[in-house]
Structure 1
Amino acid sequence: HTVELNEMFGQIQSPGYPDSYPSDSEVTWNITVPEFRVQLYFMHFNLESSYLCEYDYVKVETEDQVLATFCGRETTDTEQTPGQEVVLSPGSFMSVTFRSDFSNEERFTGFDAHYMAVDVDECKEREDEELSCDHYCHNYIGGYYCSCRFGYILHTDNRTCRVECSGNLFTQRTGTITSPDYPNPYPKSSECSYTIDLEEGFMVTLHFEDIFDIEDHPEVPCPYDYIKIKAGSKVWGPFCGEKSPEPISTQSHSIQILFRSDNSGENRGWRLSYRA
């Protein structure tokens, strides 16, 4: 027969436990816990032993795979505590089946097992996925959330960390401008703007340094991340890839540099010096 279990924890015992279990019996316990995984461990285990557990056994499975099959007697090695073998379901369902065949050579007391719902550690599970947290991941019961390093803001996707980098103004006649965190990878999902604004009569020239590394695409020009320079109606760029742009003589005293990054990639960014 089948028993449905929906509590967050519980106990499963062989029929008649702690007395010997009957011959020719079969019981299945279906354990379902919401949002969690199921952990099962045995405090006592004493079944008839047989080759490949073909006579009596306890089988633990999920919807589509067998997690473990046990039979025989408990190990007598004193270092091993009863129930040291923990079975963990990949999802929120586990089924445990006890079966005994038509005969028992001697008396076997069966088993005593306990199960409990355990939280899924989403942070560990998502480490390699595209959807993992950009900086820090925090696991809590039933879920997880992301947070960012100092100086960064969590994007509305609740996963990537961006910086506030718009409205930077440069009024000196020479200077250096870099992507945020340069030469470390620049932040994702950010829109940066830098304005160089000098007195009329001066003209700004830009020189990009050697390290230039902005995510690019083999067929489409700069669809992900790029830097663009504007002076009045003139536009240079978008630039991306690994080759620094040639020096730019803007013929203007007021220019705007725009830098955009999407929500993926680990590129080092750019650094430029300007002079009037």
Structure 2
Amino acid sequence: MMGILPFLLGLLSMVPAGAQVFTLSEMYGTITSPNFPEPYPKDAEIFWNISVPEGFQIRLYFLHFDLEPSYLCEYDYVKVEADGEELAVFCGHEDSDTEHVPGEHVISSPRSSLSVSFRSDFSNEERFSGFKSHYSAVDVDECRDSNDEDLACDHFCHNYIGGFYCSCRYGYLLHSDNRTCRVECRDNVFSERSGVLSSSNFPNPYPKSSDCQYRIELEDGFLITLEFDDPFDIEDHPDVICPYDFVKIQAGTNEYGPFCGDRSPGRIQTESNKVQMFFHSDNSGENIGWKMSYTSYGSLCPAPVKPLNGQLDPVQIQYSFKDHVLVSCEPGYRLIQDGEELEHFEIKCQKDGSWSSSDPLCKKMESWRNS
């Protein structure tokens, strides 16, 4: 209702001195020319300012109309206005090239206020009977009729008498603006050695007004590599670096980004075992977002030396942190490590690039027992 007072004050400022003004705030009513159904008087000027609650429109139609005809309605007329715009001017008692009567035409206000004015000049020789009209407040279906994208619901719109409300699909939360659907995405922790991350709803448009945080946390000794895929599509600006939506990456003391636009950041070697990704979106845009895979590798260990008369399993070209190698001996030989006789022995590649133990020996069973 706050918009009605400025509307009324604006109309009053345009009312000529001596004119009659009526303010109507009922949800329906009837407006007639003075003395109706008797002929209306000369030199009359009357304004009816109609206002109903927000969320409603006003519809006006005429039940009877009989005014003095004149070229372009310069003598007697009825004028209908709303929001400073002239919606209709009527005069006469039948349509002509220069005069129009309302007939069965229904006039609808754009919003919740409407002004009707009647004017008669200094003569009424044929004693015209005037007009009778009816107005009523009609609920606006904002879900169907709204042309303002800023007021439209992101997902679902529900109309009720006098207003509407928005709701979101499962997994989304309604933003404080009561229009936008956002996601809660701040507790995503990844601890596997490889994985895939993406913006919510990818490859469909990502949610608006969201702040997402993704954490990749691996054991000390692993280093993480990020690889962004195509397509990469984040809202950008031609003159300012990523003012709307963006991806930022924090890896140890290194920062990467912000990234936006349609050019993928590609591969990023973070040189860290912990990575935090931040993704921010504002309240507009229909971009599809991003998808990224990550892998990790550990410190490299030198190839272990196979003991004489022994075997290694597995045999690889390269060994890195967390790799295990099983050492065993050929038949007739016994595995000796630090003076102990073993069936087999396992060594591990450590985060500093060294093996967990020195190489064991394989000795013949008889020579070992005799020693």
The bucket for the TM-score relative to the shorter chain is 0.7 to 0.9
Q: Are the structure 2 counterparts of residues 116 and 131 from structure 1 closer, same or farther at C-alpha, using a change threshold of 3 Å?
A: closer
Aligned to 2:120: 99
| 2:275 paired residue among 247, 255, 263 | 255
Q: Secondary structure at the match of 1:204?
A: strand
Within-5 A mapping of 1:72-221: 72-73=92-93, 84-91=104-111, 92-99=113-120, 102-105=123-126, 108-123=128-143, 126-221=146-241
- Rounded to whole Å, the distance in 1 between the matches of 2:192 and 2:150 is 42
- Rounded to whole Å, the distance in 2 between the matches of 1:160 and 1:63 is 28
Query: Which deviates further from its counterpart, 27-36 or 254-263?
Result: 27-36
| 1:12 paired residue among 17, 21, 31 | 31
Code of the residue aligned with 1:10 in structure 2: it is: G
Q: Which has the higher contact order (CA 8 A, sep 6+)?
A: 1
Render the CA deviation track for 1:189-217: whole Å, top value 9, x for unaligned: 11112222333433221111111111223
- Rounded to whole Å, the distance in 1 between the matches of 2:195 and 2:103 is 68
Code of the residue aligned with 1:11 in structure 2: it is: T
Q: CA deviation at 1:163?
A: 0.4
Code of the residue aligned with 1:87 in structure 2: it is: I
Q: Secondary structure at the match of 2:222?
A: coil
What's the Cα RMSD here?
Answer: 2.8
8 A Cα contact 2:229 2:266, kept in partner: no
Q: CA deviation at 1:98?
A: 4.4
Aligned to 1:222: 242
Query: Which deviates further from its counterpart, 10-19 or 54-63?
Result: 54-63
Query: Which deviates further from its counterpart, 194-203 or 235-244?
Result: 194-203
- Rounded to whole Å, the distance in 1 between the matches of 2:35 and 2:226 is 86
Aligned to 2:46: 28
Q: CA deviation at 1:249?
A: 1.7
Q: Are the structure 2 counterparts of residues 149 and 127 from structure 1 closer, same or farther at C-alpha, using a change threshold of 3 Å?
A: farther
Structure 1 unaligned blocks of 5 or more: 76-81
8 A Cα contact 1:58 1:99, kept in partner: no
Q: Secondary structure at the match of 1:218?
A: coil
Q: CA deviation at 1:266?
A: 1.9
Give the greater-gyration-radius structure (CA): 2
Q: CA deviation at 1:40?
A: 1.4
Q: Are the structure 2 counterparts of residues 23 and 156 from structure 1 closer, same or farther at C-alpha, using a change threshold of 3 Å?
A: closer
Render the CA deviation track for 1:81-108: whole Å, top value 9, x for unaligned: x852122334524132142652334x64
Aligned to 1:246: 266
Question: Which has more helix, going by share of residues?
Answer: 2
Render the CA deviation track for 1:133-161: whole Å, top value 9, x for unaligned: 33334444444433223321111222221
Query: TM-score, length-normalised on structure 1?
Result: 0.83
8 A Cα contact 1:208 1:271, kept in partner: yes
8 A Cα contact 1:229 1:235, kept in partner: yes
8 A Cα contact 1:14 1:98, kept in partner: no
- Rounded to whole Å, the distance in 1 between the matches of 2:202 and 2:27 is 49
- Rounded to whole Å, the distance in 1 between the matches of 2:212 and 2:262 is 20
- Identity across matched positions, percent: 55
8 A Cα contact 2:222 2:273, kept in partner: yes
Q: Are the structure 2 counterparts of residues 150 and 74 from structure 1 closer, same or farther at C-alpha, using a change threshold of 3 Å?
A: farther
Aligned pair count? Answer: 268
| 2:63 paired residue among 43, 48, 55 | 43
Q: Secondary structure at the match of 2:223?
A: coil
